[in-house]
Structure 1
Amino acid sequence: MSETADVSATPQSSLEGAAHFSVLPVRDSLGVQPGKLFIDGQWVEAGEGRYDQVHPATNETVSTFIEAGKSGVDLAVMAARRAFDSGPWPNMSARERKRILQPIVEAIYAAEDEIAQLQTLDNGMPITFSKGGRVSGRVAADMFDHYAGWIDKITGETFPRYTDTTNLHYMTYREPVGVVAAITPWNGPVMTFAMKVAPALACGNTVVLKPSELAGFAITKLADILAKSDLPPGVFNLVTGGPVTGEALSTHPGVDKVSFTGSPVVGEKIMSTAGHNMKRLTLELGGKSAALVFPDTRDVRTAARNLMGLCSTFLSGQVCSTPTRALVHRSILDEFIHHAAEQVRDVRFGDPFDPATTSAPIISRRQMDRVLSYVESGVQEGARLVCGGDRPGGSLASGNWVNPALFVDVDNSMRIAREEIFGPVLCVIPFEEEADAVAIANDSEYGLSGGIYSTDITRALRVAKAMRTGSVGINGYSVMPNSPAGGVKRSGIGREGGWSTIEGFTELKTVMINLDA
């Protein structure tokens, strides 16, 4: 057991006992209308009924969207299929395709403030992060810009003559994979829209996109920007809906590739059915990432506050790459716990459109209950709860708020250390030796990301290579449009970012020429 004294640290909220807030005035100021589907160049009323989108900060119904269902998906996939099989987009010159995509970049830049507000209206992300964070409209524009720049650089190879017995010469081409089903999550809808749609279009594919049923506003705005562009009809299509629509899209025989970001359970279902017609897949799934804090880290306080902050602010730990396991050397364990608990004092809950708010609510009541059940499980298994893990009251009681939880004396065999909680819970696990830390980090069915805090670059690189994960941050972590990210093991298949995404949205064709014929 750690000898550190218990620290009382509860997120502060000026709204405790104050007047309740509502997100509906922002909805009205933005002129949000009930959602439609965008199919074959037209906004249409189709599908199989409507559903409500509820805001997690207040549980107010904000608006409704169409459940596309099988019938709506069929229309969208047929439109995308026609646009790919007989339309101009796949065969368009690189110059012309760039000419069409480049104005989209400026249109997203011009609308970035509205996009930020709509994203916060979607999922309760604090407006400061929605405007200026790594999931903002500006980042989405950067991604479209990055992939528009790739269009005239998607090349194949030529190969040297291998034998004297034949005069065959070999070359390769990269061709678009076909109709892409892009399925995005609720937690970063703006960034993941761009991460999937921009490279798919740049490579000459056609797209049917389905956003999470929990977050449709910002993506509808982005879809409207594409609707007003010079993209030919059917090249981009938008369908909305829940699991029924998602399954209809991911299993549709007219789809050639599925690019999905979401839960491992859904990812496994997509993978199991993709073999029926050999769909290509990119799956970015869950994580239980570990951050290793060594005694030679430059500043224990900064490391502790960074790791606790990733769980307690922004989306409150609802990001698959969040390092929710802090592996801390015993010599600095007490100091780390003290600073991590102190960080929670800076958390501010409340109106997500208030710049003072630091943290998002849990996306749904169901997920909130799931997070609280994990907290209870951690206590029952013997971990010590230093702070948090309960719900605030007062004016916040109607929303899905959970006070950030800090667990210490955690063993890696506990459920809270092994299963993805997707909430504001940090588990602190002590270690003695570097090899032990690496073994604990790798003892997971996930492998999406990881972190290392150390001033010894030799050690940091050695440990980074030893960690079985798709990406590792040394003294910092972020995702950029030009660098690949993705997971191993249960965290997914494939990579998104840079040239790796171009490879994922193209098929490689080999052409042989007999020069003696």
Structure 2
Amino acid sequence: MSFSLLPELAALNPRPGRLYIDGRWIDWDGERFEQLSPATNEVMGSFPVAGQRGVDMAVAAARRAFDEGPWPRMRAQDRKRVMQRVIDGIYAAEEEMHRLQCLDNGMPYHMSRGTRVGAKAAADIFDHYAGWIDKINGETYPVFSAASNMQYMTFREPVGVVGAILPYNGPLFTFGTKVGAALSCGCTVVVKPSEYTNLCAQRMAEIFAEADLPPGVFNMVTGAGETGGPLSAHPGIDKVSITGSSDVGERVYAAGASTMKRLSLELGGKSAGIVFPDTRNVATTAATLMGLCSTFLSGQVCSTPSRAIVHRSILDEFVEHASAQVKAVRFGNPFDPATNAAPMISRRQVDKVLGLIAKGVGEGATLRFGGDQPGGDLASGNWINPALFTDVRNDMTIARQEFFGPVLSVIPFETEEEAIAIANDSDYGLAGAIYTTDISRAFRVARAVRSGSIGINNYASVPNAPMGGIKRSGIGREGGWPTIEAFTELKTININLDA
């Protein structure tokens, strides 16, 4: 191993892993687990396995805080002031949390610091939702008929106790998206970070502990499925918001059925990047699509267009430039400014991606490059060399299953109708992108592709615009007013004006 992350860990000196329940830290007396750095597989810390017992404690505290405490009934101005303390705390700890996120998931430091998944982005998301607090309102309706003199009006009330289950790829970003929205709406929260990314989540919990929220409003439990399962199924939870795989989403959906839980499920994707021959620049487009799979989080982003649907007339040129892009990929210490790609989060994820690559070769696709592991100084980490497949049919496993890794599959097309059909022939529908200089075609295809979000000549998400999927990519939207709707219930009150 040519580098160690232990000196960085020692410099940050994070506190030992604990649970945060009912306004206090709990030194867990039960089972614990070790979190490993994906870049080196060195131990980054030990954290409690909350399990059913810890979840019961946290949900009871959140339930009590919602049913009896001041938070759901607090005046808008007062709740905004509390949220501002959280926002200020995140800004103050920004540099520390960027570094903790690198230790958590191996994200290159300069990308943790400078992209929409960093601490500043999380603070901005909290700020966005805090801004809604005094604007969450209902409506009044005109008297419908002469049959009765009734006045109808609606109010938005917090949905209740929220179980927020976070992914490993954007632990700070999704912390803001779920917890910031829930608290701003007056809900109480039990948050469970991914078992792979506890360091920055615990630092966020410390900020909440210092912000003087009423006890039980914010709670955090840790662990893997033995914690997430009881949380998503708990009868004391009114709503579950999860970002994760479609398989996990299925289990959460089933677990919540018996209690009719409200659900926000932001799940997997097999997004299509459709490249027309009139794209502004084939080289730039190819480098963009390949780069989304090969750099940053190395394809471990649910909205990544992992299917490049490319017009046959520019296919060879596209592949040539995609191949050139990979030459710029640099693995290594995530704190090295030259590093621009992340490892897979775990050995298990490495095995999954390598297995799918082997499946692609076995089914007749052509592996143009990559798909193996670097040895030498990187052998101790979870690294996979970026891969490109050509001669891919849309019925192949690699075109249908989510890799969540550094692999791009190129599928040729001849006509616009064929491109749309290929894009829509998927169990997923989270995101996608269209590359063309014909604005009429761009809108036409964007409307025809069945997906929650579509980018034209670029793709990005922001806190004030909705993001989410259809089909196996999930239920509901996160971002802007639709998130406020997701964390509130609509109550209708009618008044007899003749009484």
Letter in 2 for 1:232: P
Partner of 1:63, secondary structure, is strand
**Hey, what's the Cα distance between the residues in 2 that align with 1:110 and 1:33?**
18
Contact (CA 8 Å) 1:182, 1:197: kept in 2 or not? yes
**Hey, what's the Cα distance between the residues in 1 that align with 2:223 and 2:253?**
20
- Give how far 1:189 is off: 0.3
Contact (CA 8 Å) 1:48, 1:69: kept in 2 or not? no
1:6 aligned partner: none
**Hey, what's the Cα distance between the residues in 2 that align with 1:265 and 1:331?**
37
1:10 aligned partner: none
Q: Superposed, which structure 2 residues align to 1:441-452 within 5 Å?
A: 441-452=423-434
Contact (CA 8 Å) 1:48, 1:71: kept in 2 or not? no
2:339 aligned partner: 357
Contact (CA 8 Å) 1:207, 1:237: kept in 2 or not? yes
**Hey, what's the Cα distance between the residues in 1 that align with 2:492 and 2:242?**
28
CA deviations 1:403-444 (Å, max 9, x no partner) are: 000011111011000000110000000000000000000000
Note if 1:484 corresponds to 2:466.
yes
Of 211, 216, 232, 1:229 maps to 211
Letter in 2 for 1:445: D
Query: Which stretch of the first structure deviates more once superposed, 43-52 or 180-189?
Result: 43-52
1:312 aligned partner: 294
Q: Superposed, which structure 2 residues align to 1:361-400 within 5 Å?
A: 361-400=343-382
1:22 aligned partner: 4
Letter in 1 for 2:150: L
Of 126, 130, 145, 1:148 maps to 130
Letter in 2 for 1:78: A
CA deviations 1:354-377 (Å, max 9, x no partner) are: 111010001111110111111111
Note if 1:245 corresponds to 2:227.
yes
In angstroms, what is the RMSD of aligned CA positions? Answer: 0.8
2:281 aligned partner: 299
Query: Which stretch of the first structure deviates more once superposed, 84-93 or 19-28?
Result: 19-28
2:445 aligned partner: 463
2:193 aligned partner: 211
Letter in 2 for 1:508: L
- Give how far 1:103 is off: 2.1
**Hey, what's the Cα distance between the residues in 1 that align with 2:167 and 2:227?**
14
1:105 aligned partner: 87
Cα distance change on mapping 1:47 and 1:147 into 2, 3 Å: farther
CA deviations 1:58-95 (Å, max 9, x no partner) are: 11111100000111111100000010000000000001
CA deviations 1:458-510 (Å, max 9, x no partner) are: 10011000010000000111110100000000000000000000000000000
Partner of 2:291, secondary structure, is helix
- Give how far 1:104 is off: 1.5
**Hey, what's the Cα distance between the residues in 1 that align with 2:81 and 2:297?**
36
Partner of 1:385, secondary structure, is strand
Contact (CA 8 Å) 1:33, 1:63: kept in 2 or not? no
**Hey, what's the Cα distance between the residues in 1 that align with 2:152 and 2:312?**
58
Partner of 1:363, secondary structure, is coil
**Hey, what's the Cα distance between the residues in 2 that align with 1:83 and 1:364?**
37
2:403 aligned partner: 421
Note if 1:161 corresponds to 2:139.
no
2:498 aligned partner: 516
2:412 aligned partner: 430
**Hey, what's the Cα distance between the residues in 2 that align with 1:398 and 1:371?**
17
Partner of 1:315, secondary structure, is coil
**Hey, what's the Cα distance between the residues in 2 that align with 1:480 and 1:334?**
34
**Hey, what's the Cα distance between the residues in 1 that align with 2:384 and 2:256?**
37
Note if 1:191 corresponds to 2:166.
no
**Hey, what's the Cα distance between the residues in 2 that align with 1:73 and 1:107?**
26
Note if 1:288 corresponds to 2:270.
yes
- Give how far 1:275 is off: 1.4
Contact (CA 8 Å) 1:361, 1:401: kept in 2 or not? yes
Letter in 1 for 2:261: K
**Hey, what's the Cα distance between the residues in 2 that align with 1:342 and 1:242?**
39
Letter in 2 for 1:24: L
2:249 aligned partner: 267
**Hey, what's the Cα distance between the residues in 1 that align with 2:57 and 2:256?**
20
Cα distance change on mapping 1:47 and 1:213 into 2, 3 Å: farther
1:125 aligned partner: 107
Letter in 2 for 1:315: L
- Give how far 1:48 is off: 3.1
Aligned length: 499
Partner of 1:511, secondary structure, is strand
1:56 aligned partner: 38
**Hey, what's the Cα distance between the residues in 1 that align with 2:14 and 2:256?**
36
Q: Superposed, which structure 2 residues align to 1:499-514 within 5 Å?
A: 499-514=481-496
Of 27, 30, 34, 1:45 maps to 27
Note if 1:474 corresponds to 2:456.
yes
**Hey, what's the Cα distance between the residues in 2 that align with 1:455 and 1:103?**
46
Partner of 2:306, secondary structure, is strand
Note if 1:34 corresponds to 2:9.
no
**Hey, what's the Cα distance between the residues in 2 that align with 1:409 and 1:112?**
45
**Hey, what's the Cα distance between the residues in 2 that align with 1:99 and 1:47?**
35
Partner of 2:388, secondary structure, is strand
**Hey, what's the Cα distance between the residues in 2 that align with 1:135 and 1:62?**
21
Contact (CA 8 Å) 1:47, 1:67: kept in 2 or not? no
- Give how far 1:37 is off: 0.3
Contact (CA 8 Å) 1:375, 1:389: kept in 2 or not? yes
**Hey, what's the Cα distance between the residues in 2 that align with 1:316 and 1:420?**
13
CA deviations 1:259-314 (Å, max 9, x no partner) are: 01101111101101211111100000100000100011100111000000000000
1:8 aligned partner: none
Letter in 2 for 1:294: F
Partner of 1:192, secondary structure, is helix
**Hey, what's the Cα distance between the residues in 2 that align with 1:192 and 1:467?**
26
**Hey, what's the Cα distance between the residues in 2 that align with 1:426 and 1:397?**
23
Contact (CA 8 Å) 1:47, 1:71: kept in 2 or not? no
Contact (CA 8 Å) 1:47, 1:72: kept in 2 or not? no
**Hey, what's the Cα distance between the residues in 1 that align with 2:116 and 2:67?**
36
- Give how far 1:47 is off: 6.0
Partner of 1:43, secondary structure, is strand
- Runs (4+) of structure 1 moved beyond 2 Å? none
Note if 1:327 corresponds to 2:309.
yes
Partner of 2:240, secondary structure, is strand
- Give how far 1:96 is off: 0.5
- Give how far 1:105 is off: 1.3
Partner of 2:132, secondary structure, is helix
CA deviations 1:24-83 (Å, max 9, x no partner) are: 111100012320000011011236310000111111111100000111111100000010
Of 53, 71, 81, 1:89 maps to 71
